[in-house]
Structure 1
């Protein structure tokens, strides 16, 4: 077997950087197969299953196969939902291996000028800088409010884009003007004697596109008896970078957030986005070889909780009356909230506590909706296949409201409702916003 110079370099990095013990932990039992969306959607192709991908990684590590485009394609098509991990009897950390393998491939990739520009803009120029995110979302808000959106749709300009992007543009929530997205205070006091001090991770998209959800999160925490600290110097969690082969940048952002939260004096660190929370919880792995930050990252990780988890733990749903007009609701799990943060029952307990609602459990609520960060943009065809299957299960509940706990999932479910033409019958909402409505 002859390999190109590039393939030899990739193989050498696999041998050096991939955790051989972790690769060997996979017993090839196949318990993961029925839980893997891409394995199911590709007609049971082994190369697109967790077991198959681990076998490919091991073969590259051992020099048995070349790390060619077929191997890379298998890794790229993975959603990274990590549904394979909870069902693995050997406890294989598949997500960590996937991110390392992608990072190795990215280290040896040569992109076109256009792709380089896009990656540099997104990974270096936009997400690490909250002020730039603010400006970008302000432009989106201007597009929505100025009449440009109406004109663009009327003249058919959006038809120049793929159908999935057209539907996504229609499903995008209205962005508040920047003057209405007021800067958060450093400290918010509890409405009663505080039972805990929490530090709130506000996120980048969550604090711009979903500013109202962040505002409602703080309100719920106050009513739950939490004193809230919002560190000024926090930034993007780095999940998008970590999942896309930009590990060094993700580590840099992790260090910045650890620095920001260390002096908060908080008992817990709270996130309201499943994808962000899971990556924040993975800081201990991300920085495990960093002599200066390994222990600090472990302390950070130990404090991470989702908003639903802390609300249940402090008895919010038992002390605060929750009531809504009659609704039939169903809950769609955030993959990373369920599979990484191990939080599945807390959101359901909160929903069940709302007077006036009927909660219907969706079939395969724990399966991915196909959002997966920017997967629905770069792997649109597979994403829409997965979303269509998800909408079959959603429609079967006859729900009027689909509740999610992650911004990506929320946008994806809005997109699914749009694609199915169900806008007049069904809505998708973040669990925080539903709870806030139930309180008010």
Structure 2
């Protein structure tokens, strides 16, 4: 970093970092055993939550410069927030990390290629759902046209890093463009109506993972929910918020709040742990904007994960059955640590006849996906995934269930890397539950 950049970053750390929150950290170390990067880095204190907080505070206090080592420490953080539930002081580490990254990335000069990629991704792709549909349809064309077979057979894929080559193998079959554009905006309850809910479709979830969104809506209908799906909603903004694009995240949050206001619904349902945790945090994201504070609070209070509403509506008492198999569950970090949803997925899985549920050791430790972390920090991500697969194999499970698209792809990637594709599968919990329900109804 150049001197001018360091000075700007230092000044903004003093002005914008939540100093009271930094002071809340007692340096007790309770967070250390819960931090994957601390463990996998050989217990390097600079890659622990309290170490990163100490670095942030030191920059604010003028004791150190915000140099590349500080940036590297923050970049290597998964943002899984596993440190928050175990912190006796209740430090909101995730908020501090977002603040620090935003300051650094907004003031750190980027190379032209990096600047171009960030501009395309953050300004012209994720905020525009029609462009997400177009981009996803290109991937679908690649899969269906035979290009995928050609790329694999000719060795073109060998020019890509190993993690990307493996990821290409485990991507779901993408729907056709016309199907991604022809989405419902209202669905009635199939059984006796118990709730009226809105459904947050997401960007990737309603394109690449569209079949899982369809399964989610079917489950809600079976459980007795009338569903409204506003077509003016957009990406939740989590990728922006976690990547130093806070102002863009705020814009997207405001659009979503406007889209769901006045719908007279009991809940806004999500099926992606990462999206849900960020939506729940809109009231914090917009806390400095008086005209949005109350609106954001009302929005955030209605967010509920699909597993939570299913348990609330006693879906676990339905006749659910599958062929005999051992199943384990990988927690979505943000579903557990952000939305505080932990037991509901387990309750649902344990209610399926024919399923033997085996709890995985460290099921709530991050799998290493963390948005685009497994691409930009591939080495650390694969270290974390290797540990996760060790624990998975010990359960002897045929099926790994998770509740977030990033986790799902990461676990599929782990299965592929371990050569277990013939004996093990990874599925989203709503796809698994829908199969169990329709198998007996």
Aligned to 1:93: 92
1:19 and 2:18 matched: yes
**Structure 1 residue 255: Cα displacement:** 0.1
How far apart, in 2, do the equivalents of 1:186 and 1:131 lie?
16
Residue 394 (structure 2) aligned to one of 386, 393, 396: 396
Query: Secondary structure in 1 aligned to 2:83?
Result: coil
Residue of structure 2 in register with 1:306 after alignment: 305
Kindly indicate whether residue 272 of structure 2 is the aligned counterpart of residue 269 of structure 1.
no
Partners of 2:400 and 2:106 lie apart in 1 by 40
Do the aligned residues in 1 keep the contact of 2:330 with 2:402 (CA within 8 Å)?
yes
Map Cα deviations across residues 300-332 of structure 1 (whole Å, 9 max, x no partner).
Answer: 1111110000100111111x2111111211000
Task: Show the counterpart of 1:330.
Answer: 328
- Tell me how far apart the structure 2 counterparts of residues 182 and 124 of structure 1 sit (CA, whole Å): 21
Q: Per the alignment, in what secondary structure is the counterpart of residue 270 of structure 1?
A: strand
TM-score calculated relative to the size of structure 1? 0.98
Distance apart, 1:5 and its partner CA: 2.1
Q: TM-score, normalised by structure 2?
A: 0.98
- Aligned partners of 1:32, 1:325: CA distance in 2, in Å? 40
Describe the superposition over 1:142-176 as per-residue Cα deviations: whole angstroms up to 9, x where unpaired.
10111100000001001001111111111111112
User: How far apart in 1 are the matches of 2:109 and 2:155?
Assistant: 35
Point out the more displaced range, 263-272 or 89-98.
263-272
Describe the superposition over 1:360-381 as per-residue Cα deviations: whole angstroms up to 9, x where unpaired: 1000000000000000000000
CA distance in 1, matches of 2:146, 2:231: 34
Secondary structure (helix, strand or coil) at the match of 1:311 reads helix
In the TM superposition, residue 178 of structure 1 has moved relative to its aligned partner by 2.0
**Post-superposition CA distance 1:376-406 (Å, at most 9, x none):** 0000000001001100001111100000000
User: Does 141-150 or 188-197 show the bigger shift?
Assistant: 188-197
Q: Distance in 1 between matches of 2:324 and 2:175?
A: 28
Deviation at residue 182 of structure 1 after TM alignment: 5.5
Alignment of 1:366-405 (within 5 A): 366-405=364-403
- Cα distance in 2 for partners of 1:316, 1:231 equals 25
Spell out, residue by residue over 1:109-148, the C-alpha distance to the aligned partner (whole angstroms, 9 max, x if none).
Answer: 1111111111111101100000001011100011011110
- Quote how far apart the aligned CAs of 1:193 are: 2.9
User: Counterparts of 2:3 and 2:194 in 1: how far apart (Å)?
Assistant: 61
Asked whether 1:247 is paired with 2:240, we answer: no
Q: Relative to structure 2, which stretch is displaced further, 371-380 or 174-183?
A: 174-183
Q: Retained in 1: the 8 A contact 2:133–2:180?
A: no
8 Å contact kept, 2:171–2:409? yes
1:227 matches 2:221 = no
Tell me if 1:365 matches 2:363.
yes
Q: Could you tell me which residue of structure 2 aligns to residue 74 of structure 1? A: 73
Distance 2:231 2:158 in 1: 41
SS in 1 for 2:227: strand
CA contact (8 A) 2:397 2:424 kept: yes
State the 1:181 CA deviation: 3.4
- Conserved? CA contact 2:5–2:109, under 8 Å: no
The reply on whether 1:30 has 2:42 as its aligned counterpart is no
Alignment-derived partner of residue 199 in structure 2: 200
1:436 is matched with 434
2:128 is aligned to 129
Give the unaligned 5+ runs of structure 2.
Answer: none
Aligned to 1:67, what secondary structure does the other structure show?
A: coil
Q: Give the aligned partner of residue 167 of structure 1.
A: 166
Offset at residue 263 of structure 1 (A)? 1.9
Q: Distance in 2 between matches of 1:6 and 1:367?
A: 35
Question: Counterpart in 1 of 2:289?
Answer: 290
Gaps of 5+ in 1: none
Partner SS for 2:311: helix
Query: Match of 1:125, SS?
Result: helix
Size of the aligned set, in residue pairs, is 437
How far apart are 1:227 and its partner, in Å? 1.0
The SS at the match of 1:86 is helix
Q: Note the aligned Cα RMSD (angstroms).
A: 0.9
Q: For residues 192 and 328 of structure 2, what CA distance do their matches in structure 1 show?
A: 34
3-state SS of paired residue (1:293): helix
